[in-house]
A and B are shown apart, each in its own frame.
Chain A
Amino acid sequence: MAVYKTSEFRKGLKVQIDGEPYLMIEMNFVKPGKGNALYKCKLRNLLRNTVIDRTYKGGDSLEAADVEEIEVQFLYRQGDTFVFMDSKTFEQYELTADQVGDNWKYLKDGMICSMVLFNGNPITMTPPNHVVLKVEYCEPGAKGDTATNVTKPVKVETGAEFPAPIFINMGDLIKIDTRTGEYVERVKS
């Protein structure tokens, strides 16, 4: 197994701690003039998205995590299983509803997403930053009301509900920011 020595520590490194993959999101080098170096790290758990603080000293090492990011296409959902296909190799990967989390709200058939593999197994997926979804149901829009600060819930083609401005109608296409879950704009079809 490849290891990273403290002298190789840097932001962006993917390492393994207690069998789980972590991304080094911050690394601060501090060294007393006469004494061992300290490497203060913030690490994000790639399975659970939690962040931990760990400090290592010069001479320590961490195992490298076999983590790879690939481009996949969402194929379909079957019960609690989401099926994706590697855009290059056409290999299929499955994620559970738990692993997909709130991202199910954005998943349309054929959508291109990014997926993270750990030891060759899929662990997470991320949809594009913006997705365009069709409104399947909402209360009728008030004519002439173009205010965007007053919202109502609208149900989109994926089955999810988002807050959108009053003027949105059934059949409209709306753009959603997947990082915040917020409505961005109405898209002309």
Chain B
Amino acid sequence: MGHVPPGRAMESGVPPFGPSASWEVLRRRAELLTELRSFFADRGFLEVETPLLCRDSVVDLHIDPFAVEVSQPPGETWWLQTSPEFCMKRMLAAGATAIYQVTRAFRQGEIGRWHNPEFTMVEWYRCGDDMRAGMALLAELAQAMLGADSVLQIEYAELFRQGTGIDPLDATDKALREAARCHGLDAAGESTRDDCLDFLFATRVVPSLPREVPAVVYYYPASQAALSRLDPRDDRRAERFELFFRGVELANGYHELTDAAEWRRRARAANRRRASRGKREIPVDSALLRAMESGLPAGSGTALGFDRLVMAALRRRSLSEVMAFPWERA
């Protein structure tokens, strides 16, 4: 009497109390985390911890942080971090040379098979690395963690051409819009150049990658530089790279932008676009900006979704199979 199976909800509104992932998967997950920590320890990285709740946050048009009303200082809004980027870069400006962190990141509204609003992120930085060195480290990690023999490295523009027949750096906005529409992006809403690139990349380009080979895609279009620096030899593209495996984006890395003025310009532009879409603006002035003004050493940094890595490594189809308590059970 009274026994409730762990997978069954007792009444509507109350989630089942048991984990959604099996114990076998949770055990493998813990082993992968141990392997990951030794991967970084073996390479001389220092494990660090930074706060999840901060007075500032990354300003990005498409990343929405959770705002938290704090009682000290009274009346202020702080932010659950969407990545540990700010605090880790402050550490670099204060003398760190190679650091990594396993932490939680929070992103409002991102719920789906491959998304959970709270997730585990692994982020690392190494001073002196350029884009190639950052990519090489990521490829090494992919090989070690995913048990892959080799890692494909391919330029964004080349891959985009293969998947769509379109040159993403030179095509006109009109040509991109037409291609997006003809591949099923609803034409009713207004689409920016990046909306079209993202749509075509997600629906035509990523599926064209070999499924069982990890792929590092690099030199993203300049409009998608985020916080990476532009290629000094070709400013149509940015020194940004991503890791894909089994159709899923696992990691994003930069040859880091260190120019404070450029950083401020990009944050302000992102805030303007946020405001025009009815989104809350995020403070631009931050301790990171101060750190950059004092001198952020050149280097490369990468963020990796650990839950997705586990999902890919264990050949599971959804995050809920590899997380104990995903959003529906949190």
Contacts and interface: CB of A to CB of B under 8 A. Distances in A.
Same complex: yes
A152 interface: no
B110 interface: yes
A39 B111 CA distance: 11
Interface in A1-46: 7, 28-38, 40
Given A34-B63, A34-B226, A54-B184, 9 more contacts: A29-B111, A29-B113, A30-B112, A35-B194, A38-B198, A38-B199, A55-B186, A57-B185, A57-B189
Contacts, number: 71
A40 B195 CA distance: 14
Contacts of A30: 112, 114, 202
A17 B21 CA distance: 38
Contact of B249 (A28, A33, A58, A59): A33
B124 interface: no
A43 B119 CA distance: 30
Given A29-B112, A59-B277, A60-B189, A35 B198 contact: yes
A32 B111 contact: no
Interface in A34-72: 34-38, 40, 53-61
A29 B110 contact: yes
29 contacts: A28-B113, A29-B111, A29-B115, A30-B202, A31-B62, A31-B110, A31-B112, A32-B202, A33-B303, A33-B305, A34-B224, A35-B224, A36-B62, A36-B194, A36-B195, A36-B198, A38-B198, A38-B199, A54-B186, A55-B184, A55-B186, A55-B199, A55-B203, A57-B185, A57-B189, A57-B191, A57-B195, A57-B199, A58-B62
A58 B278 CA distance: 12
B316 to A, nearest CB: 16
A60 B252 contact: no
A58 B112 CA distance: 14
Most chain B CB neighbours (cut-off 10 Å) among A33, A53, A59: A33
Interface of A: 7, 28-38, 40, 53-61
A60 B195 CA distance: 12
Contacts of A55: 184-186, 199, 203
Interface string B200-237: 01110000000000000000000010100000000000
Contacts of B114: 30
Given A34-B224, A35-B194, A55-B199, A60 B188 contact: yes
Interface in B160-205: 184-186, 188-189, 191, 194-195, 198-199, 201-203
A158 to B, nearest CB: 40
Contacts of A40: 203
B109 interface: yes
A32 B186 contact: no
> Which of B109, B113, B198, B305 gathers most chain A CB within 10 Å?
B198
A59 B184 contact: no
B321 interface: no
B242 interface: yes
Given A36-B62, A37-B62, A7 B185 contact: no
B60 interface: yes
Nearest to B184: A55
A10 B186 CA distance: 17
A39 to B, nearest CB: 9
Contacts of A35: 62, 194, 198, 224
B201 A32 contact: yes
Contacts of B202: 30, 32, 38
Nearest to B194: A35
Contact of A53 (B110, B184, B226, B305): B184
A167 to B, nearest CB: 44
B303 to A, nearest CB: 8
A35 B198 CA distance: 7
The 4 closest A-B pairs by CB, nearest first: A29-B112, A60-B189, A35-B198, A34-B226
A31 B252 contact: no
Contact of A32 (B189, B198, B277): B198
Contacts of B249: 32-33
A48 to B, nearest CB: 19
